[in-house]
């Protein structure tokens, strides 16, 4: 498996969950990976497991300079950058607008949109020059919530719809040198966290009682995804040889929300 041989990728939110599965898949496909994540402990574990294939920055996607540091480090350590995968995001614990306290709305909105939307823009902005030079590829993690209501609350669903717009606009702005696409997972067995203070019941996604069973029953394929289930699509979209004519599009990996 060497589809990404000699490629260098920057992956945000790569210490856990779907991002981590993408990091490991890219390494198996021959890539070197630079990871940006807040979770120092999980980053250290990743670094210890793949000492020759990974470099990392413990930082925040909402901070442009942390994104810039990752690009600098990738170039210093591996010589270039070919791929950006924007993936770090926060959930809103399904909170409808009616249940968000008025005094919490603005802060919750700002935090969630900064991570889920500005975080991706920061990564693209920091990586852009390198990607242009190398005719690179961008893959952003969307969600079934980028297309349908009810899989999240009002903040998460609108932020993921914004990511779909971001993919289309960036595909337009960055062509012809850089292709920009998305992968849209459905419910996936991860500990995805919610923005602080949004709900007193909030907990990591797969700690919700019966989450896996309910998520499986909500889709035609009757299965909750594992993080690994999505990773081949990231490889496909990241590799110019595999999807040379594809830009501005999103591939669904959600068990069939469209067929419900």
Catalytic residues: 156
Which residue in the block uniquely carries the two structure tokens 């942390």? 66
Our finding on whether 143 is near ligand NAD (CB under 6 A) is yes
**Contact pick of 39, 134, 199, 249 for ligand NAD (by CB under 6 A):** 39
User: Which of residues 13 and 136 has its CB atom nearest to ligand NAD in the complex?
Assistant: 13
Our finding on whether 73 is near ligand NAD (CB under 6 A) is no
Which residue in the block uniquely carries the two structure tokens 């993408």? 22
| Residues 217-246 within binding reach of ligand NAD (CB under 6 A) | none
**Contact pick of 8, 9, 192, 198 for ligand NAD (by CB under 6 A):** 192
Please report, for residues 33, 98, 252, the alpha-carbon distance to residue 178 in angstroms, rounded to integers and kept in the order given. 19, 41, 21
139 in Cβ contact with 85 (< 8 Å): yes
Give the list of residues 6+ apart from residue 98 with CB closer than 8 angstroms, or none.
none
**Contact pick of 4, 88, 112, 131 for ligand NAD (by CB under 6 A):** 88
On the CB side of 56, CA atoms within 13 Å amount to 29
Our finding on whether 187 is near ligand NAD (CB under 6 A) is yes
Our finding on whether 70 is near ligand NAD (CB under 6 A) is no
**Contact pick of 4, 9, 18, 85 for ligand NAD (by CB under 6 A):** 18
By CB under 6 A, name the binding residues for ligand NAD. Answer: 13, 15-19, 36-39, 60-62, 87-90, 115, 141, 143, 185-188, 190-193, 205
């Amino acid at each position: 498996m060497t589809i990404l041989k000699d490629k260098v990728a920057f992956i945000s939110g790569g210490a856990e969950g779907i991002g981590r599965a993408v990091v490991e898949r890219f390494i198996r496909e021959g890539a070197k990976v630079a990871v940006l994540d807040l979770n120092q402990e999980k980053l250290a574990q990743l670094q210890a497991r793949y000492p020759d294939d990974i470099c990392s920055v413990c930082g925040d996607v909402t901070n442009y300079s942390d994104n810039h540091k990752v690009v600098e480090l990738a170039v210093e350590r591996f010589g270039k950058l070919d791929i950006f995968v924007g993936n770090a995001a926060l959930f809103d614990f399904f909170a409808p607008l009616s249940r968000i306290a008025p005094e919490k709305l603005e802060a919750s909105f700002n935090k969630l949109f900064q991570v889920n939307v500005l975080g991706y823009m920061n990564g693209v902005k920091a990586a852009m020059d390198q990607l242009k030079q190398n005719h690179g590829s961008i893959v952003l993690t969307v969600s079934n919530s980028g297309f349908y209501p009810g899989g999240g609350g009002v903040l998460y669903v609108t932020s993921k719809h914004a990511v779909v717009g971001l993919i289309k606009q960036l595909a337009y702005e960055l062509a012809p040198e850089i292709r920009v696409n998305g992968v849209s997972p459905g419910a996936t067995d991860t500990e995805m966290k919610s923005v602080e203070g949004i709900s007193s019941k909030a907990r990591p996604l797969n700690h919700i009682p019966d989450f896996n069973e309910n998520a499986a029953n909500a889709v035609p394929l009757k299965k909750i995804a594992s993080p690994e289930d999505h990773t081949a699509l990231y490889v496909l979209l990241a590799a110019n040889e595999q999807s040379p004519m594809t830009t501005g599009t999103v591939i669904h990996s959600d068990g069939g929300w469209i067929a419900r």
